[in-house]
């Protein structure tokens, strides 16, 4: 019996190529693949965390074929599957996919829920209309073009790989090593204690997924050679801003006190949703952003660890960063204090 099991496990081992692989999700994908016994090769420029994974094969190059070296490092090689974590421009993504069409059997493209035309409809599924660029030749990545460009990248992969393509559309990703700080801000801020500015209303729904849950599910999907398109965020219950903040308080044991300031007041003071106050999306015509349909991914085996674990591990990692770390998101302390003072003055 054990020999049969061992043989079955052996047969599932893959030669896996990851484009990127050293920043946040890519890093988590490598860790998940190695934990499951797969042989991993990384292809990247070596510009981010080159010291990571010393035992993993690393091929240096540029996925843009117009750059020196380009994709030549991939020549003469074969892999069971590839995971593309770093594709943003359709022409470059197509070049990578076409170069690997005959040497990689299965291709995962990491996209985004930002591909959708809008977020007016709650619980819209993967068939909801995608965003379209007025000028499809545009390659500059901005807040307006990011989603439509990702949609074009998806289409390029699907045209090359057809039924061998797996398209993953994550929402907000949380957890250790997140350079965006879009979730990290809250555990760190709550741990600091005192009066905390909380945006909108306590019952505001939010969605997020731990990077490790996303990565582990992705690797399992690749093992099964699954294809198709999946929205991937979480959790599998209605998570609220109240729970995020109060679970952070529970984990940290801080003396944080939450002062909830209405959307309208924050917008009047030009506070930027999502960036200055992560997770906050005002209650307007973006219900779909707080209620992304994920039933298809759950049916395909997506699971979620407890929120407390994500908070605890994110905070532990954040505490290893330099004290003068330049935050990518979140209110500066002086701005938060000023907003709280203005709010109290209005009462």
**Does the CA dihedral 226-230-232-235 come out positive or negative?**
negative
Are the CB atoms for 21 and 85 separated by under 8 Å? yes
- Is the pLDDT score of 3 beyond 50? no
Residue 220 lies in a domain: no
Tell me the mean pLDDT in the region 130-136: 92
Q: What is the pLDDT of residue 290?
A: 86
Residue 298 lies in a domain: no
- Is the pLDDT score of 2 beyond 60? no
Residue 228 lies in a domain: no
Confidence of residue 29 (pLDDT cuts 50, 70, 90): very high
Angle between helices 307-318 and 241-252 (to 10 degrees): 60
Residue 225 lies in a domain: no
The number of residues making up the chain comes to: 347
Residue 98 has which token pair?
């076409």
Residue 106 lies in a domain: yes
d(CA 43, CA 270): 41
Question: 116 by DSSP, 3-state: which?
Answer: strand
Residues 155 and 250 in one domain: no
Residues 126 and 20 in one domain: yes
d(CA 231, CA 251): 29
- Is the pLDDT score of 124 beyond 70? yes
> What are the beta bridge partners of residue 260?
198
Residues 58 and 109 in one domain: yes
Residues 89 and 202 in one domain: no
pLDDT digits (tens, 9 = 90+) for 225-247: 999 999 999 999 999 999 999 99
Q: What is the pLDDT of residue 85?
A: 96
Residues 255 and 281 in one domain: yes
Question: 294 by DSSP, 3-state: which?
Answer: coil
Q: What is the pLDDT of residue 285?
A: 62
Residues 270 and 324 in one domain: yes
> φ and ψ at 194, to 5 degrees?
80, -165
Q: Which residue has the tokens 């349909």?
A: 293
Residue 229 lies in a domain: no
Q: Which residue has the tokens 């750059």?
A: 67
Residues 24 and 140 in one domain: yes
Domain, as residue range, for 277: 185-207+236-288+306-346
Residue 87 lies in a domain: yes
d(CA 342, CA 32): 47
Q: Is the pTM of this model over 0.85?
A: yes
Residues 47 and 112 in one domain: yes
State how far the alpha carbon of 320 is from the alpha carbons of 178, 185, 269, in Å.
13, 14, 33
End of a domain among 170, 194, 216?
Answer: 170
Residues 159 and 240 in one domain: no
Residues 76 and 149 in one domain: yes
Residues 67 and 202 in one domain: no
Residues 45 and 147 in one domain: yes
CA 172 to chain centre: 5
As a whole number of Å, the end-to-end CA separation of the chain is: 71
Cα-Cα-Cα-Cα dihedral of 109, 114, 120, 123, to 10°?
Answer: 40
Q: Report the CATH number at residue 22.
A: 3.40.50.720
Residue 230 lies in a domain: no
Q: Report the CATH number at residue 282.
A: 3.90.25
- Is the pLDDT score of 194 beyond 90? yes
- Is the pLDDT score of 75 beyond 80? yes
Q: Which residue has the tokens 């292809």?
A: 43
Question: 298 by DSSP, 3-state: which?
Answer: helix
Lowest mean pLDDT among 175-189, 254-268, 275-289: 275-289
Count of domains observed in the chain: 2
């Amino acid at each position: 019996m054990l020999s049969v099991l061992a043989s079955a496990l052996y047969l599932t081992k893959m030669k896996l190529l990851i484009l990127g692989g050293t920043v946040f999700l890519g890093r988590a994908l490598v860790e998940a693949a190695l934990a499951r016994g797969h042989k991993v090769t990384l292809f990247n420029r070596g510009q981010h965390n080159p010291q990571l994974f010393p035992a993993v094969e690393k091929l240096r190059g540029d996925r843009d074929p117009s750059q020196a070296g380009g994709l030549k490092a991939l020549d003469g090689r074969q892999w069971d599957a590839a995971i593309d974590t770093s594709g943003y421009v359709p022409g470059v993504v197509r070049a990578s996919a076409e170069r690997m069409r005959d040497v990689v059997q299965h291709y995962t493209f990491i996209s985004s829920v930002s591909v959708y035309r809008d977020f007016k409809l709650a619980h819209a599924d993967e068939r909801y209309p995608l965003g379209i660029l007025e000028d499809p030749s545009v390659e500059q990545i901005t807040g307006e073009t990011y989603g439509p460009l990702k949609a074009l990248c998806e289409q390029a992969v699907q045209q090359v790989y057809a039924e061998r393509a797996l398209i993953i559309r994550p929402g907000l990703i949380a957890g250790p090593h997140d350079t965006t700080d879009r979730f990290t801000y809250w555990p760190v801020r709550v741990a600091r204690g005192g009066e905390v500015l909380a945006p909108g209303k306590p019952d505001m729904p939010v969605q997020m997924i731990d990077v490790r849950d996303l990565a582990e599910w992705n690797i399992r999907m690749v093992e099964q050679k699954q294809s198709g398109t999946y929205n991937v965020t979480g959790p599998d219950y209605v998570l609220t801003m109240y729970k995020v903040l109060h679970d952070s308080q529970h984990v940290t044991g801080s003396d944080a006190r939450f002062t909830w300031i209405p959307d309208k007041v924050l917008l009047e003071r030009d506070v930027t949703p999502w960036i200055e106050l992560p997770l906050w999306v005002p209650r307007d015509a973006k219900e779909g952003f707080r209620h992304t349909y994920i039933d298809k991914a759950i049916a395909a085996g997506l699971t979620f660890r407890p929120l407390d674990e994500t908070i605890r591990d994110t905070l532990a990692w954040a505490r290893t960063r330099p004290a003068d770390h330049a935050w990518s998101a979140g209110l500066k302390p002086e701005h938060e204090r000023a907003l709280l003072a203005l709010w109290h003055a209005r009462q």
